Amino acid sequence: MRLHKTMLMLALLATGVQAAELPKTAETESPTPADIPAPAPGAAPAAAPAGAAAPAAAVAPVTGERLPLDDLRIFVEVFERIRASYVEPVEDRQLFENAIRGMLSSLDPHSAYLDTRDFEELQNATTGEFEGIGLDVGMEDGVVKVIAPIDDSPASKAGLRAGDYIIKIDGKSVQGMSLADAITLMRGKPGTKLQLTVLRKGEEPREVEVTRARIEISSVRVRTLEPGYHVVRISQFQTHTGRDLRREVEKLAADPKTPVRGLVLDLRNNPGGVLDGAVAVSDLFLDGGRIVSTRGRVLEGEQVFEASPGELLSGVPLTVLVNGGSASASEIVAGALQDNHRALVVGTTTFGKGSVQTVLPLTAGKGIKLTTARYYTPNGRSIQAEGIRPDIVVRPAQVELLEGGDLFHEADLQGHLGNENAAAAAGKGDGKAADKPLVERDYQLAEALNLVKAAVWLKQKAPAPATAAPPAVAPQEDAKPAKKPASRRKKAA
């Protein structure tokens, strides 16, 4: 029987083993995850949405020899030796999955095999959506601790707070559970009920019933640094990142009292994400021109992504803050805004991940993540292993402000004249200790803000464009034309 299996395996592997094209699916509204480029006009996307069955791959001939039979024999021989002699019994399925993992991981650091859980987690991370109750949790002393409930989520509406402890999930004690297992239990189909036993300090344990729902997490956070100056923090590029950013920036622009004067786009430690999200964010700040292009061996032709007409905050100075943790989609945005001269890139050189990973679904909810192309900035630069070099290098630093630098002021002189504005300003303080200055809390962000301010100042001080000088003799409406053109040219001179 074992010999029969071996010969059957050899026959299957050795009979006309050829490469297949990437599976293509019909156009859907679902996003393609993990750095998958959007399809060119008229083309189908490279990956199916979560849960879709993989279509039959179209077989296409490739140049090169077929797999040698001797190498296949070695593979089968190793497989049989492990089954027969390993210290513990190993299932055939596990051996095959391990072989697939090794085959992909040996290609490059970003190609990988995705089992059912990995595939689902990748979908959740790239879409920013999952089915559950909306809690950010961690493990502490063997129980699940609530770090923070997501705004407007079922958990938030049920009254769960940061610092609460979940000791039972649907009657099962979480003692001895891993965090991943606890999260799996809390997730489920929208509309289903979940019973939690919650312990809050100083109170008795209580039962909380929560109804699961579809949770959407925004990767965009906006805060005001000074009146008119704001920082936009993007933690990851998800399917809805472009939409969320547009919504937040339009809110800022709609304030009639404080117009937007400058913006800092903070992409530090942003690992990347969906290519469509990076293209959408770049498009918001560009009025035209190329955003990024991809080139690979299998994908049909070069894919080019262009910015559409119209931009948010036209003319408002913009800086992009990056560091060594800014990778992939973050580098696409930084490179697009840098090459199109729309923003000043500040910080340190980025990570240098310039490759495209296409997620190809397999049967049983599994998939593979395969590197299929490289990114190129609008100027044709490859990001791979090079990264985006900032226009102005600002390294992380800790700044300590010195006390007593200004020793003496006019107000310290005895009998000094008062200021007529002093009375109006008096009493406006709230008596609270001021926060640490931004330069002490985040030196790189403070420098990025200073550069935006400098750009605003230069824009305000820029001289108005010169207008054409009026003619030496103003033309009269009823005047007769000159007889000699030469004399007219002389007079105009």
Q: What is the pLDDT of residues 451-461, one digit of tens each?
A: 999 999 998 87
Q: How many structural domains is the chain composed of?
A: 2
Write down the pLDDT at residue 486. Answer: 43
Give the burial class of 493: count Cβ atoms within 10 A of its Cβ; 0-12 exposed, 13-18 middle, 19 or more buried: exposed
User: What are the pLDDT digits (tens) for 405-438?
Assistant: 666 788 888 888 888 776 554 444 443 444 789 9
| Mean pLDDT on 62-89 | 86
Is 266 designated active site?
A: no
In a domain, 449, yes or no: yes
Judge whether residue 470 has pLDDT over 70: no
Could you tell me if 343 and 283 lie in one domain?
Answer: yes
- Residue that is last in its domain, among 190, 216, 242: 216
Task: Calculate the alpha carbon distances from 251 to 128, 222, 223, 248 in Å.
Answer: 22, 10, 12, 5
Write down the pLDDT at residue 307. Answer: 98
From 276, 330, 353, 369, the catalytic residue: 353
Could you tell me if 298 and 167 lie in one domain?
Answer: no
Could you tell me which residues are beta bridge partners of residue 347? Answer: 322, 393
Q: Rounded to 5 degrees, what are φ and ψ at 438?
A: -60, -35
Q: Is the dihedral of CA 60, 63, 69, 74 positive or negative?
A: negative
C-beta separation of 216 from 128 below 8 A = yes
Is 353 designated active site?
A: yes
Please, what's the b/e burial string for 153-183 (b: 16 or more CB within 10 A of its CB; e: otherwise)? bbbbebebeeebbbbbbeeeebeebeeeebb
From 328, 330, 355, 366, the catalytic residue: 328
Q: CATH number for the domain including 179?
A: 2.30.42.10
User: What are the pLDDT digits (tens) for 259-318?
Assistant: 999 999 999 999 999 999 999 999 999 999 999 999 998 755 479 999 999 999 999 999
Could you tell me if 28 and 122 lie in one domain?
Answer: yes
Judge whether residue 7 has pLDDT over 70: no
In a domain, 361, yes or no: yes
Q: Rounded to 5 degrees, what are φ and ψ at 434?
A: -70, 145
Could you tell me which residues are beta bridge partners of residue 173? Answer: 168
> Which of the pair, 321 or 43, is modelled with greater confidence?
321
Determine the 3-state secondary structure of 115 from DSSP.
coil
C-beta separation of 274 from 35 below 8 A = yes
Domain containing 48 equals 20-58+71-128+218-402+438-462
Task: Calculate the alpha carbon distances from 378 to 39, 336, 371, 397 in Å.
Answer: 18, 6, 21, 32
- Residue that is last in its domain, among 216, 238, 258: 216
Could you tell me if 201 and 233 lie in one domain?
Answer: no
Could you tell me if 89 and 165 lie in one domain?
Answer: no
C-beta separation of 35 from 305 below 8 A = no
Could you tell me if 370 and 458 lie in one domain?
Answer: yes
User: What are the pLDDT digits (tens) for 324-379?
Assistant: 999 999 999 999 999 999 999 999 999 999 999 989 999 989 999 999 999 999 99
Model pTM greater than 0.85?
no
In a domain, 228, yes or no: yes
Is 255 designated active site?
A: no
- Position 270, amino acid: N
